[in-house]
Amino acid sequence: MIACPVCRLELANVPRLADHFWEAAEASEGRHVMWLNRHVGFREVPREVLRERLEQALQGPPDS
């Protein structure tokens, strides 16, 4: 299980989280869109790319 970092909704995995963000962005839900802009990027990306970028964003910065 993984929780949405914005609304804490519990989802099965990152692909489901990507779908959740995708739907929120399509609905122009402000908090989710702002999180995506801050952590994934400002440009719309294909859903598969969103999944990859969410994986990276949720891992945090690489260890030094």
pTM here is: 0.82
Confidence class of residue 31 from pLDDT cuts 50, 70 and 90?
Answer: very high
pLDDT of residue 43: 87
Tokens representing 17 are 């989280």
Distance CA 50, CA 43 (A): 11
The answer to whether the Cα torsion of 34, 39, 41, 47 is positive or negative is: negative
The mean pLDDT of 1-19, rounded to a whole number, is 95
